[in-house]
Structure 1
Amino acid sequence: MIELHRHGPIHEIRLARPPVNALTPELLAALRTAVQAAPADGARAIILTGGSKVFSGGMDVPHLMGLDRAALGPGWASLFAAARAIANCPVPVVAAIGGHSPAGGCVLALCCDYRIMARGPFRIGLNEVQVGLVAPDAIQHLMRRVVGPYRAERLLVSGALVESEMAQAIGLVDELTDAEHVLVRARHWLEELLALPSAAMLATRRIARADLVAALEGFDDRQLDGFIDAWYAPDTQAALQALVARLKK
């Protein structure tokens, strides 16, 4: 479910669970392990990427719907654990987004230092509201820090997914390029960063990202329990079941 490629000091971690890299606890655990292991394995920077049409379709809802409550909590906790691993990574991480990136895919991308997205009719955003879920404050913080509080409110409350051109215009992604050049641009951006004095760059980065780390670490078991309670609300279950029915078509 994870492919690893080395480009000298830049390591590429590719989500590899076709067709849409839907996130399961197993995939997220593998991602967390890969991100945490890369610096010790010589990585001075990381590219996180996915498929050519879909970076990640978000959490695997049909899989989650088949879990009982005892397994559902750890299932959702795995998303936060992977997000924390990216946020806490001691080396820069670029998201190379070759296609759509809704919900959990957007969460992972927002934890990266920089986001490069393929130009075209690809959408990205936190659309949890559309399936009856509440994005926790820790996740909302990720959106607020890149697009500002008011714009984040509008996007989150409506569960909007925006196309790549709009995503760049509002700061949700940093750069657009042709799909075939997404990985190349990610490497070039990191190479420019790695050319800077390392100690100063990494220390400045650590200070600048402290709010991101704190927000994710603040999502505790009590808040996770509240999220799971909301999962079982009748209107949420109805919306999730409708989503699963659409996915089966």
Structure 2
Amino acid sequence: MSLIETTQYGHVHELRLARAPVNALNPELCNALTHAVHHAVNNGAHGIVLAGGPKVFSAGLDVPYLLSLGDDQDALLQAWKAFFNAARALAACPVPVVAAMAGHAPAGGCVLALCCDYRILADGPYRIGLNETQVGLVAPEGIQALLARAVGAHRAERLLVAGAMPEAAEALHIGLVDELTDIDDVAVRARAWLEDLLKLPTMPMRETRRIARAAVIDCLSDARIDLDRFVATWMEPDTQTALRAMLARIGK
């Protein structure tokens, strides 16, 4: 079974993460997403909906897989590269992308959403955010800048340092998401938003978007992610302890 399920609605292509149960982002899923974004554009997509599973859009990086790599920093580097390549594919996509989140979007799931043009979240007790400090990680400067672009610098600082994950209503209030809707209507609303946008003259809309979103692409530059440093900090003792404690809690 494909890790990305693709459905076409005219010129709008829906890409649905399909790695049960929670769309944990391992290299295979990340590589499949990168390929699917490029494939959609090359096959005539004028807009893309990025969807996930019910109740969980994506639980973020596949931590059990990453921990299974031990101290193999080359393998860790390749795994994280696959994730950031997927994020860059969304950020640099030449057509607009909407994140349709019918559930929680922590950490890596939130990063993917921040790379999209527009974010729709299911109304209810669903959370989104960068909870890295809660699990012993430091979000790279570029990822912090992505969050600040959405919610402002001061609010981003407060969220990042605490590793906070606001629920849907608060996420809408602070600008982390653009719209809330019923959980069953998230993908439908995403398509509707795109269809309205696509009624505009194509060249002016796309060129204006390209200029406006240059900062998103810059946030994901190698210098601002500094992946070598990030992977090195992954091996810090308190990071490893926090990650393993998180897995123990999940396993209960």
Equivalent residue pairs, number: 248
How far did residue 220 of structure 1 move? 6.7
What is the CA deviation profile of residues 186-218 of structure 1, one whole-angstrom value per residue up to 9, with x for unaligned ones?
A: 111000000000000000000000011112124
CA RMSD of aligned residues (A): 1.0
Q: How does 1:190-205 map to 2 (within 5 A)?
A: 190-205=194-209
Q: Report if aligned partners of 1:48, 1:94 keep a CA contact under 8 Å in 2.
A: yes
**Structure 1 position 219, deviation (Å):** 3.9
3-state DSSP class of the match of 2:56?
Answer: coil
The offset of 1:69, in angstroms, is: 1.6
Q: Percent identity over the alignment?
A: 60
Give the corresponding residue for 1:188: 192
**Residue in 2 that maps onto 1:230:** 233
- Give the structure-1-normalised TM-score: 0.98
Secondary structure, counterpart of 1:46 in structure 2:
strand
How far apart are 1:111 and its partner, in Å?
0.2
The equivalent residue for 1:240 is 243
Q: Could you tell me which residue of structure 2 aligns to residue 168 of structure 1?
A: 172
Does the alignment pair 1:177 with 2:192?
A: no
C-alpha separation between the residues in 2 aligned to 1:30 and 1:8?
Answer: 22
Alignment of 1:33-112 (within 5 A): 33-67=35-69, 68-112=72-116
Partner SS, residue 100 of structure 1? strand
Normalising by structure 2, report the TM-score. 0.96
- Contact preservation (8 Å) 1:119, 1:179: yes
Shift of 1:184: 1.0
Residue number in structure 1 paired with 2:212? 208
Secondary structure at the counterpart of residue 23 of structure 1: coil
- Deviation, 1:228, is 1.1
Counterparts of 1:228 and 1:92, CA distance in 2: 31
| CA deviation profile, 1:71-107 (whole Å, cap 9, x unmatched) | 0011111111111000000000000000000000000
1:30-65: CA deviation from partner (whole Å, max 9, x where unpaired):
000101111110100000000111000000100100
C-alpha distance in 2 between matches for 1:191 and 1:117: 18
Distance 1:170 1:38 in 2: 32
Q: CA deviation at 1:244?
A: 1.7
Residue 229 of structure 1: how far off its partner (Å): 1.2
**After TM superposition, what 4+ stretches of structure 1 lie above 3 angstroms from structure 2?**
218-221
Structure 2: runs of 5 or more not aligned: none
**Which residue matches 2:156?**
152
Residues 138 and 218 in structure 1, CA contact (< 8 A), matched pair in contact too? no
Secondary structure (helix, strand or coil) at the match of 2:103 reads coil
